[in-house]
Structure 1
Amino acid sequence: MTDNIAAGSPASDLRSPSDGYLGDPTVRAEWDERYADRQQLWSGRPNGALVAEVAGLTPGRVLDVGCGEGADAVWLARGGWDVTALEVSGVALERAAGHARDAGLAIHWVHAALTEAVLPPASFDLVSAQYPALLRTPDSAAERALLAAVAPGGVLLVVHHAGMETQQTHDSGFDPADYVWPSMIAELLTDDWETEVDEQRPRVAPDGGAGAHHTDDVVLRVRRLR
C-alpha cells in the first residue's frame, strides 16, 4: 500500500466495494475502517524508492500490490505504464479511482487480497509492493503469488520499513511475525532469478501521511530470468 505497512475495470467503471471482493472480509473491514477514519491516510505522492528504482525501466505492464489511495498507481500510469492496482479496502479503491479520473487516466482496479486475486500468471513487467501488509502463511502463499506474477525478464520490487521484522509484538496487537518481509521473499528465489538490489538505505519519505516517521527502507529488487 502506498507508504504503508498492506482483471479489473477502468477507473470510470469501478464497482461498489461490496461487489466481487475476493478475500477475508475481516481484513477488508479492518482496512476500510482505517481509511474511513481519515479523509486522507497517505501523503498523496509516490513512494520514493519506487520512483528511484523505476527510473531506468521501460514502461510495460505493472501490478501495484496494496495500492492504497492510488498515488503510486497514478504516477506509474502518467509515466506510460499499463497499471493494474490491487487493494483490499473498497474505501481506498474509491479514493484511488477518483484520483485517476481526475487525472484522466485508465487504471485496472482489483478489489481482492493478493492470494485470492485472479491475475494472469507471469505477465507483469513490474510487480511493485511498497510497504505491503501481506499476512504470512505456512505455505508462503503471498510470497509465491508475488513471484508468480512477474513475467520473464520482469522485475519484482518489494520495499519495507527497516527494522520492523525484528520488533516485538506491540501493545496494539501488531506482531511482525504475522507478516511477510523482503527477506522471506529472498529465501524463495531460485536460479531463475537475479538479485539486482538487496539493501537498507535512507528513506526518501513524502511529507505527511501515516508512516512518515520511518527513516530507513529495505529494498529488494529481483529480476526473473526465465
Structure 2
Amino acid sequence: MEHGHGHGRAMTAEEVRAMLEPSAWDERYGGEELVWSGFPNPQLVAQVDELTPGAALDVGAGEGADAVWLARRGWAVTAVDFSQMALKRIAEHAAEAGVEITTEQADVRTWTPPAGVFQLVNSQFMHQPAEVFAPLVARLADAVAPDGHLLVVGHHPKDLEEPEIGRPPVGDMLFTAEEIAAQLDPSTWEIVAAETRPRQLIGLDGEPVTGHDAVLHARRRS
C-alpha cells in the first residue's frame, strides 16, 4: 500500500518543483533505503499482465520495479531516467532478479524516443507542469509501434480534496485520463481505458485513505 509523502507532512509546491531536476533525485536515490515499495505499480499489472511481450519503454523508471516486472515476463525493456543514481539502482535490481534491462539516461522533458518501435510505452506517476507534460505525452505516443500500447498513469486532481493523502498544491501537475485521451487522434488510437480508479493509501496520519489514479491505456491501430 502506498504511503503519503512521509515525515507527517505534504511536500510544498516549491519542494516539488525542486524535485524536477536530476540532482534532487540523485540525492534521493543516493541513500541505502528504497525510496519506493519495490513492487510494480498496480495499474501496470492490471493493464499489461495479459499482453504479449515485446519491446517496452519505461520512462521515469525510478528504482526499476516496473522494468524488472516487465522483464521477468519476457519484455525487452529499455528503462529511461534522468537520474544516474536511479539507473544504478535499476541495474542492481535487474542483476538481483536475473534479468536484462537496457538503461538510458535522458531527460524526458526534452528527449525524443525512437518513433514507432515499442509494443509498450509505460509512464507511471511522472508529473510535470502541463506545458511540459502535453508535448511529452505526444512524443511517448509517437514511440508506440502499430498494435502497441501506451499506458499513462498519474495522481488524479481529486486527491487534492483529501488533505490526509498529502498531495502538494500543484494542480497544474496532476491530470485526468480523459485529458490524455483527448490528445490522441481517434483514427490512430483505440482507447482501452480512460478511467479514475480508487486505490487504498496510507495517509499522513498513518491511517488508510482512498486516493485516485488517472489511468489512460490506449492501443495504436495497425
State the TM-score, normalized to the length of structure 1: 0.75
Q: CA RMSD in A?
A: 3.3
Matched, 1:52 2:62: no
Counterpart pick for 2:121 among 127, 134, 151: 127
SS of structure 2 residue aligned to 1:201: strand
Q: Structure 1 residues 156, 204: closer, same or farther in 2, change over 3 A?
A: farther
Question: More strand by proportion, 1 or 2?
Answer: 2
Higher RCO structure (Cα 8 Å, ≥6 apart): 1
Cα offset, 1:67, TM superposition: 0.7
> Aligned partners of 1:149, 1:180: CA distance in 2, in Å?
21
Question: More helix by proportion, 1 or 2?
Answer: 2
Cα offset, 1:181, TM superposition: 5.3
Residues paired across the two proteins, number: 200
SS of structure 1 residue aligned to 2:130: coil
Contact kept, 8 Å, 2:113 with 2:140, in 1: the verdict is no
Contact kept, 8 Å, 1:134 with 1:180, in 2: the verdict is no
Give identity over the alignment, percent: 40
In structure 2, what is the equivalent of residue 112 of structure 1? 106
In structure 2, what is the equivalent of residue 222 of structure 1? 218
Contact kept, 8 Å, 2:56 with 2:75, in 1: the verdict is yes
Query: Structure 1 unaligned runs (5+)?
Result: 6-25, 207-211
> Aligned partners of 2:190, 2:167: CA distance in 1, in Å?
38
> Aligned partners of 2:141, 2:176: CA distance in 1, in Å?
14
Q: Structure 1 residues 95, 195: closer, same or farther in 2, change over 3 A?
A: same
Amino acid at match of 2:115: P
Query: Structure 2 unaligned runs (5+)?
Result: 6-19, 203-207
Amino acid at match of 2:221: L
State the TM-score, normalized to the length of structure 2: 0.77
Matched, 1:194 2:190: yes
Which range moves more in the overlay, 97-106 or 80-89?
97-106
